[in-house]
Structure 1
Amino acid sequence: MIFCPKCNTMMISSGGQMKCRRCGYIQAIESEAGMKITTTRVEKEITIVDEEEKVKTLPTIQVRCPKCENNLAFWWLRQLRSADESEVRFFRCTECGHTWREYD
């Protein structure tokens, strides 16, 4: 990583040169031998419930099923939108298997 000598912000590669995102300072890349371009992406692992046996290991909660009126359901959380929005809670009835989501 190369940091801007003016404002100490991390610089990005832009057409054979390094450019500061904050102040616009430009520095020529003298030697690419010492530079290594990497991409690091951290992803959150999501458990997808597909098989009936896996559902039985999920936690349960007392909530009324809108289809059969049963009072017990499995529940899990999923991140459906961007990371700055809250997760969505899903429920699956222990009797009829109906799946629905919680709306705030």
Structure 2
Amino acid sequence: MEFCPDCGAMMFPKDGVLKCNSCGYSNENIDEDNYNLKKEIKAGETVTNLGEDVEVGPVTNETCPECGNDKATYKLLQTRSADEAPTRIFKCTKCKHTWRAYD
């Protein structure tokens, strides 16, 4: 992988030349055997958007204050100084309500 010396963007091979799509810089001194971008993408390999309902992160037993559901995903964030415990951010798996807890 090569990067443009002028703007830092990634350069792509085209017709035996490495070319920057951002600023137009080109480098003709390339070995085309090192750049294999000829893979054809088939319809089954496309990215599928699963929407916003996909839960990412660990799930714990925590009661939602809005709906009473007992499952929530959580993440830890250091919202205060480094010598204090991190803040736990919960998100209900049922109603998507978000709340925080401090130790």
Normalised TM-score (structure 1): 0.46
TM-score, structure 2 length as denominator?
A: 0.46
Higher strand share: 2
